Amino acid sequence: MKTKTFFKTTIISITAYAVAFIFAVPYLHMLTTATKPDDELFMMPATYLPSDWQWVNFIQTFENAPIGIYLRNSVIISLLATLVVLVVALPAAYYVARFKFRGKAIFLLLVLVTQMLSPVALVVGIYREVVTLGLVNTYLSLVLVSAAFNLAFAIWIMAGFFASIPSEIEDAAFIDGCSRFMAMRKITIPLALPGIATALIFTFIAAWNEFVIALTLTSTVDKRPLTVGINTFIGQYQVQWNYLFAAAFISIIPVVILFGSIQKWLVSGLTAGSIK
């Protein structure tokens, strides 16, 4: 029995490491290309590892393009979009989970329908609306669009968590003199924190990785996020692959740090409700 269990565990571990390696290969290739000298980028036959690791390429990436400005813009847009989603989705999800009202099913259906619409399919309409409002090439337009396309997902996730928390806990708080707002702030929200963290991290990542809308609505360096800015290294006749991959590698570092810092909440948020 022990031999069978050991064999099964070994197979699962090897499979897990193999899958992890497959997912890591593109990032390893990105790192090796980012550290190659210019004369090895188009060498034939191609070499996977650079003969001389040029770590200075990461520094030169900031010198050859305003990566710092692009990075700042991405942080501002992503954080503000996440904040807007938090402010709007939190009370909406709580109300949907705790109260019964006429048209609740239709409301939830409309919220779900918005997830079926791709920003790429709506880019023309979004651009015309932004032009009408005079918000072209502004942080506000990017923040509002990113928040709008992630709001439905956040409401669904948070509403599910609020619904899983027994209302009797809040009833006990009401007896002790708590108001609805106080009970939500001191009891319900702390209990639903994993779900809130899950919704916010996915909102942040979606806003951080957004490209098409940002490319359409921005026209100057001081407003473009990093996803658009790294295209600086793609010229008409040449692509600076080492600097392009160095900038792309830099762009994933904040997301990796964010994932690592809230990993416990994220995992519990994704698996909550799976066992009754």
Q: Is residue 179 part of a domain?
A: yes
- CA torsion 33→34→39→40, rounded to 10°? -20
pLDDT of 74 strictly over 90:
yes
Looking at residues 19-34, what average pLDDT do you find?
88
pLDDT in tens, 133-181: 999 999 999 999 999 888 888 888 888 888 888 888 888 888 878 888 8
- Measure the CA–CA gap between 83 and 103, rounded to whole angstroms: 28
Query: In percent, how much of the chain has pLDDT > 90?
Result: 18
Domain count, the chain: 1
Chain-wide mean pLDDT for the chain?
83
Q: pTM for the whole thing?
A: 0.83
- The continuous run of DSSP H or E covering 32 comes out as helix 2-34
Phi/psi of residue 211, nearest 5 degrees? -125, -50
Looking at residues 233-250, what average pLDDT do you find?
83
Q: Is residue 99 part of a domain?
A: yes
Closest CA to 138 of 193, 40, 213, 234: 213
Cross-strand partners of 234: 239
Q: Is residue 21 part of a domain?
A: no
Sign, Cα dihedral of 30, 210, 81, 155: negative
pLDDT bucket at 40, cuts 50 / 70 / 90 = confident
Looking up residue 166, the CATH number of its domain turns out to be 1.10.3720.10
143 and 77 Cβ atoms separated by less than 8 Å: yes
Q: Give the three-class secondary structure for 234.
A: strand
How many C-beta atoms surround the C-beta of residue 98 within 10 A? 16
pLDDT bucket at 273, cuts 50 / 70 / 90 = very low
Q: Is residue 26 part of a domain?
A: no
- Measure the CA–CA gap between 99 and 126, rounded to whole angstroms: 33
From first CA to last CA, the distance across the chain in angstroms is 30
Looking at residues 62-76, what average pLDDT do you find?
90
Q: Which domain holds residue 208?
A: 62-271
The most confident of the ranges 23-32, 38-47, 110-119 is: 23-32
The most confident of the ranges 71-75, 101-105, 106-110 is: 71-75
The most confident of the ranges 59-63, 85-89, 92-96, 187-191 is: 85-89
Residue 2 has a pLDDT of 63
233 and 244 Cβ atoms separated by less than 8 Å: yes
pLDDT in tens, 4-26: 777 788 888 899 899 988 988 88
Residue 75 has a pLDDT of 92
**What length is written for the chain?**
276
Residue by residue, DSSP assigns 82-124 as HHHHHHHHHHHHHHHHH---TTHHHHHHHHHHGGGS-TTTTHH
pLDDT in tens, 115-135: 777 777 888 888 999 999 999
